[in-house]
């Protein structure tokens, strides 16, 4: 899932609309959206016309002034990092009854973010323009009428999209505010700051759900391909410290082998020097975060399984689309608060909000260790 998070169809989430900057003497009747936002290079793209805010006024919510407009990163068409633009006049999203408004303190990038921006799943995407971002950590400043547990002032974290590929929100987390369903969020672990918490949600939920679907449990062995990545680094820790693995092996480049060992790997394999598929040892589960399922099946025990996040799937490999679930984060919070499981943040970060383009470019090199985090916001 961290790689492209393939597949599955589910009901699309609601599609809020962005608000554009306010040009002087704006005439809505004469505004030509086709000219302003031409789609000739992307004939199949959907596009929701932008609304315009009438006033930069603010609404006071429990002492927290919530403005009408906010700063955000936006793209109006699919493409490389050049389509990203910084916008200081995007509408603060309205919340539904089951949602809260989160003042974003930090966000994190995942491969699904850039693959979405490239248009890899445009057929099921929300309409353009898009404020990207899945992972968020911040403070609740407003709650919907049907919200049961969260309250204003709560520090929370989560993945804002219930299904990564099917109708992800038009308003994502790379903004000052984001509207999120209560069920997708959890209280932030007390021992983590916002930067650390933002690096967890999508990756730890993917790691956890993959292990559960594979039937992983105490006494079983696992090989993690791509153990230094955002998902892989958490698979190692969850397998060892939460699921009770008897043995954990993982692959990475030479410079990251010590990181693997520090996370709990019993065997750290340099994939540039060793072919893991030639290991005499077999594993109950292989968790493939890099797209090498065809090789992975060669080292899985009979009756075992391969979790494949990307690339072609070879039986007994399987792929799944992670479901964002705040209750999964709540369940894992004790392991985070005890220090048994730790977020892994790439040492080049966190990237400031002004360097989102640089953060995307770095993520797309495939060289990041752990998560690429954006903080502070704004």
Please give the pLDDT value at position 8.
36
225 shares a domain with 166: no
Q: Domain range holding 350?
A: 69-188+345-374
- DSSP character at residue 261: H
User: How many Å apart are CA 207 and CA 287, to the nearest integer?
Assistant: 9
Provide the domain count of the chain.
2
Assigned domain for 314 exists: yes
144 shares a domain with 117: yes
- The pLDDT tens digits of the residues spanning 343-359 come to 999 999 999 999 999 99
223 shares a domain with 147: no
Share of the chain above pLDDT 90, in %: 82
2 versus 104: which is more confidently predicted?
104
Please give the pLDDT value at position 65.
83
- DSSP character at residue 108: E
SS3 76: coil
Assigned domain for 39 exists: no
Please give the pLDDT value at position 63.
54
Assigned domain for 224 exists: yes
Q: 73 and 85 in contact (C-beta within 8 Å)?
A: yes
- Does 22 have pLDDT greater than 90? no
Assigned domain for 337 exists: no
- Does 35 have pLDDT greater than 70? no
Q: Which stretch of DSSP H or E encloses residue 232?
A: helix 230-241
Length of the chain in terms of residues written: 378
User: How many Å apart are CA 191 and CA 34, to the nearest integer?
Assistant: 49
370 shares a domain with 267: no
Assigned domain for 199 exists: no
Please give the pLDDT value at position 64.
64
- Does 41 have pLDDT greater than 70? no
Please give the pLDDT value at position 66.
95
Assigned domain for 117 exists: yes
Average pLDDT, the chain: 88
Average pLDDT score over residue span 145-169: 97
264 shares a domain with 222: yes
Average pLDDT score over residue span 307-313: 96
CATH of the domain at 86: 3.90.180.10
291 shares a domain with 258: yes
122 shares a domain with 97: yes
Average pLDDT score over residue span 288-293: 97
CATH of the domain at 244: 3.40.50.720
Assigned domain for 3 exists: no
215 shares a domain with 129: no
SS3 123: helix
354 shares a domain with 252: no
């Amino acid at each position: 899932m961290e790689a492209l998070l393939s597949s599955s169809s589910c009901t699309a989430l609601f599609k809020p609309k962005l608000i554009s900057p306010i040009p002087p003497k704006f005439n809505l009747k004469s505004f030509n959206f086709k000219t302003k936002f031409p789609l000739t290079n992307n004939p199949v793209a959907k596009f929701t016309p932008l609304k315009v805010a009438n006033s930069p006024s603010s609404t006071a919510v429990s002492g927290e002034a919530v403005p009408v407009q906010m700063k955000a990163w936006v793209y109006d068409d699919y493409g490389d990092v050049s389509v990203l633009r910084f916008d200081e006049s995007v509408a603060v999203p309205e919340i539904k009854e089951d949602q809260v408004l989160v003042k974003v303190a930090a966000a994190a990038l995942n491969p699904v973010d850039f693959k979405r921006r490239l248009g890899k799943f445009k057929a099921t995407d929300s309409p353009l323009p898009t404020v990207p971002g899945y992972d968020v950590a911040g403070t609740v400043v407003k709650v919907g009428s049907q919200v049961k547990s969260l309250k204003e002032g709560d520090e929370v974290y989560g993945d804002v999209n219930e299904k990564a590929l099917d109708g992800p929100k038009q308003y994502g987390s790379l903004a000052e505010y984001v509207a999120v369903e209560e069920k997708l969020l959890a209280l932030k672990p007390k021992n983590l700051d916002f930067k650390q918490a933002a690096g967890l949600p999508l990756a730890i939920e993917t790691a956890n759900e993959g292990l559960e679907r594979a039937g992983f449990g105490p006494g079983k062995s696992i090989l993690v391909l791509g153990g230094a990545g955002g998902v892989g680094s958490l698979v190692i820790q969850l397998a060892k410290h939460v699921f009770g693995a008897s043995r954990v092996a993982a692959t990475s480049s030479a410079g990251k082998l010590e990181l693997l060992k520090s996370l709990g790997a019993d065997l750290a394999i340099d994939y540039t020097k060793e072919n893991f598929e030639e290991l005499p040892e077999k594993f109950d589960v292989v968790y493939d975060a890099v797209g090498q399922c065809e090789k992975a099946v060669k080292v899985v025990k009979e009756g075992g399984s391969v979790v494949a996040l990307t690339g072609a799937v070879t039986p007994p490999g399987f792929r799944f689309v992670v479901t964002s679930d705040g209750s999964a984060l709540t369940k894992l919070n004790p392991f985070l608060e005890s220090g048994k499981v730790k977020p892994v943040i790439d040492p080049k970060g966190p990237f400031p909000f002004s360097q989102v383009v640089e953060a995307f470019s770095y993520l797309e090199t495939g060289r990041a260790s752990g998560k690429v985090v954006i903080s502070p916001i704004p």
